[in-house]
Each structure stands twice: as structure tokens, then as C-alpha cells.
Structure 1
Amino acid sequence: MSLHALRPVLRSALRPALRTLRASRVSIPRATAVRAFHVSRPAYGSGETDSELAAAIAAEIAYESEGASSSKPGFLQELEDEGVWSLSDTANSDDVVVSRKFGDETLKLTFQISDLDNPEAVESVDADGNVVEDPAYITSSLLVTKSGSKKALLIDLGASPDGFEVTNVAIYDKGLAEADGVEADWKRRSSYMGPQFDTLDSVVQDAFQAYLAERGIDAALSNFIVSYSEYKEQKDYVGWLSDVKEFVNA
């Protein structure tokens, strides 16, 4: 596994250990105070542990922000400079969308950053017979529509530092493919979704891969998705810490 692919896994694995280590350095054993029943309760929203929680969160914010740059990361600046894909991202939202036009087609690729917090190790065997652990994929869904068709393609992919892996290609009525919500998702799942991609004839698989690559669904975009997911996850985590701290201190 490449160092780039290990970054999100190592960060998720090390973060709890570093917090524990940091806490063990500063904690001082003390006797637990016993509150008498006749002592009045503190005002609502001003509990005895509030300051301790706020201080712990402040320390975590300082740790996570250490060495962080306020400038736009290079991979994001490069995407904007190329002017092919447009990025749509809402703070604290799991979904991120990149979209573009290709002739009379509109391509909308949605990916979920929560996959970074729940990496599923996948084991495979290399050419020498050694068991290796592959990086978890970032779940992605590509919607392809065109002005001259009432249908739309909905393609499930996994993004990794090594590129995209296509898992399924479905075709729906355009309205159903574009619809959001649980009901629309249930209707899509109740429709025929096509065969598993890896069961298709190899010639058809290769033709699909070429079709996607021509539209920019390639290793460069997959790498961007991995990098941006790491960047956004970190940014949203620090924002979450700040919001919780502000609430506790209010």
C-alpha cells in the first residue's frame, strides 16, 4: 500500500491513541468530591465538568490545527485552474459533488467522505502469493444525462489512489435517476440495475473504461477525490470541535 493510501487509515488509527497519550500526561489523580444532597445545584448549562470539557476540546483543536496551512491545497487549486470540473461542497455534509459538461452530456459525480472514518480493509494476494491489504474505496456515484435522451446512466464506482473501480452500471428514466430521497432510492433499487460489472464480457468492460476515461473519469480525478476527502474530513472535524466548544461555553 502506498504512503498516500495509508494516510487516512493511520490518521483514524492514531488519533485516539494520541488523545489518550496527551490526556495521560496532564491528568492528575484526585479524590472524588461527594456532593451533599442539601447543596444547591449549579445553574443550568454551568455544570462542574463544563470547563474541563471545554479545555479538553480546546487542546484537541490546538493539536489538530498544529501545522495546518490556511492556504488552498495544491490539488484543489489545480482542479480550479484546469476549469473542467466544478466542485460543490457544503460544510458538515458527507456528500461532495464534482460536475462537468461533455458535449451535450452532463456528468455529476457524488462521493462520500465518511468512508475515511470507516476504512474496510480488503485483502488480496499479489503475484508472489503474499497477502496484501488494499486501500478502502471512497464510494462514488456518477450520473450521466444528455439532452437528447429520456434515460440516464447511473454508475457506481470506488475511488482509490490507484484509480476508479466500476462496480455497477444502471440505466433509468432520467427523472428517477435524478430524484433524491429515500423513496426514489427505493424505486431505483426495486428496478433492474444491470449485471455486476465484473461479470460483463471483458471487451464490454474495456469499452466502458474507455468511455469513462474520455470523459475525465480517470486516475487523476480519483486521486483528487481521495485527497479532497482527507482535506474535508479534517476541516469538518475541527469545525465540529469548535461548534461543540462554543456550545459548552455559552
Structure 2
Amino acid sequence: MSLRALRPALRAARTARVPVARAVATRTFHASCPAFGAGESDAELAAALAAEYAYETEGASSSKPGFLQELQDEGVWSLADTANSDDVVISRKFGDEALKLTFQISDLDNTDPVESVDADGNVVEDVAPAFITSSLLISKSGAKKALLFDLGASPDGFEVTNVAIYETALAEATGAEGDWKRRSSYMGPQFDTLDAVVQDAFQAYLAERGVDAALSNFIVSYSEYKEQKDYVGWLADVKQFVNTD
């Protein structure tokens, strides 16, 4: 279960640590506003943000997590990440092929509650495992076309949903326009409608290139790690803005 999914429950458990908001008198629109942005609620918001920041950073380690250090030590995949960017890219070379895998950490927001029944027959609500949408581009030097895989990364491994082949320039096109042009082209059959032998062969093809359960687990772990870092940075930036005269 991701930290983001657990955050509401953790917050509820520590409500007493956040100052209780007092009632703010209603102002009419023609009332004069305080100068320099010093509103009556600024101090309370700053205190709430400071409490949240302190809670999120309490006991946090500044060392690099093991799964990230392991990826870097292996030296197979390279990671490109920008703070506060939703997209993360990992890439590698495989013979004369270039592999570029892109995933979005915002998919952590799409984890829906699921219900199950425990041994006593009670309905238990839990959070489904993370499922991170990923796009894998495989291009080959000298080839006019490239493969584009739609994947879902979860703790159990990758789920392939689609395999398409496009002109390399179209496969590499970014942004809404590139996505629209690809959707206007034949995207190939839905993966689960392929013959089982073909599906297994594709899975072996990907595994040989390192697109396997270990990489899928890395994507889930890194998404949670990055989301936490970006959240803490967001708290600090907003708190600083509110406190600025």
C-alpha cells in the first residue's frame, strides 16, 4: 500500500497535533484588506503547514533508498527525473536497440478502495496495489519503425495491454499532438486477444531486455519515493510563500 494512500488515515490519527482553526469573522467585499498579504488566517495556515511538514520529515532518512542505489550500481538502466515533474524516464541500450520507459507517478492517485471478507465474515476495505501506467519505446538503429508497448507496473510485475508499431518519428512524438496522431493510426490488437503463445513470446522478449518483475517493482517503489519527496517540497514551498511578507 502506498504512503499516499495511507496519508488520510495517518492524518486522522494525529489530528490533535494540528492547531484547531478558530472562527474567522465574515468580511464584506468593500472592507479594506490588510497590507502585504497579512490575512487573519495566514498564521493558522502557516502553522498547519509547518506541523504537516514536521510530521512528514520526522525521522526521514537523507540516505539514498536501497532500491535506487541498486539500480545505479547495476549500471544497466539510467534514470532521468525532474523534481515536481509527473513523468519519470528510465532508459538503456540493448545491442543496437534503445529502450525508453516512461511512467507517471500521478497514477498513485488512481488507487481505488477494494473490499474483501475476513475470516470472521466481516467486510474489510483496503487499498488496491499500485498500478503505474508505463510506456515502453523500443527503437533500433537502421529500422524505420519502432515498437511501443503500453504496460502497467505493479508489485506483481508488468501487465502488457497493447503493442503497436509506428514510424519511428511518430512513435517518438511527445505531447498531446503525438498522442492524437498515434491514436489515429492502427494501434494493433488488444494484447489479451492474442494467441497465448504469442503473448508468452512477447513476455520473454521483454524479460530478456530487463523489462521484468524486478523493474516493475522498482517503478512502484520509485513512484512512492518521488511522490513523497515532491509532497514534502510542496509543503515547504507553500509554507514559505504564506510566510513571505
Question: Same fold per TM (> 0.5)?
Answer: yes
How far apart, in 2, do the equivalents of 1:21 and 1:225 lie?
29
Q: Would you say 1:41 and 2:1 are equivalent positions?
A: no
Match of 1:230 among 202, 219, 224: 224
1:55 aligns with 2:27: no
Moved over 4 A (4+): 24-40, 121-124
Aligned residue for 1:169? 163
Instruction: Say if 2:213 is the partner of 1:210.
Output: no
Asked if the contact 1:80–1:86 (Cα under 8 Å) also holds between the matched residues in 2, the reply is yes
Distance, in Å, in 2 between the alignment partners of 1:29 and 1:165 is 46
Q: What is the alpha-carbon distance in structure 1 between the residues aligned to residue 29 and residue 180 of structure 2?
A: 54
Contact 2:79 2:91 survives alignment (8 Å): yes
Is residue 2:108 matched to residue 1:116?
yes
Residue 100 of structure 1 pairs with residue 106 of structure 2: no
**Amino acid of the structure 2 residue aligned with 1:146:** K
Q: CA 1:208–1:80 in 2, change beyond 3 Å: closer, same or farther?
A: same
Do structure 1's residue 194 and structure 2's residue 182 form an aligned pair? Answer: no
Partner of 2:135: 141
Aligned residues: 236
Contact 2:162–2:190 (CA under 8 A) maintained in structure 1 = yes
Q: CA deviation at 1:71?
A: 0.4
Q: What SS does the corresponding residue of 2:35 show, helix, strand or coil? A: coil
Give % identity.
79
In structure 2, distance between residues paired with 1:58 and 1:29: 14
Q: Is the 8 A contact 1:84 1:100 kept in 2?
A: yes
CA distance change for structure 1 residues 177 and 47 in 2, over 3 Å: closer, same or farther? same
Deviation of the 1:165 alpha carbon: 0.7
**Shift in alpha-carbon separation, 1:235–1:30, aligned structure 2, 3 A:** closer
Q: Greater shift after overlay, 42-51 or 82-91?
A: 42-51
Where 1:158 maps in the other structure, the secondary structure is strand
TM-score relative to the length of structure 1: 0.86
Contact 1:97 1:109 in 2 (8 A): yes
Matched residue of 2:133: which SS?
A: strand
Q: Structure 2 regions of 5+ residues with no counterpart?
A: 117-125
Q: What TM-score does the superposition give when structure 2 sets the normalisation length?
A: 0.88
Paired with 2:28 and 2:93, the residues of 1 have a C-alpha distance of 69
**What secondary structure does 1:117 align onto?**
helix
Q: Is the 8 A contact 1:91 1:236 kept in 2?
A: yes
Q: 1:123 to 1:176 in 2, by over 3 A?
A: farther
SS of residue matched to 2:10:
helix
Structure 1 unmatched runs, 5+:
1-5, 125-131
Q: CA deviation at 1:188?
A: 0.2
Whether the aligned pair in 2 keeps the contact of 1:152 and 1:177 (CA below 8 Å) is yes
Structure 2 Cα separation of the partners of residues 193 and 37 of structure 1: 55
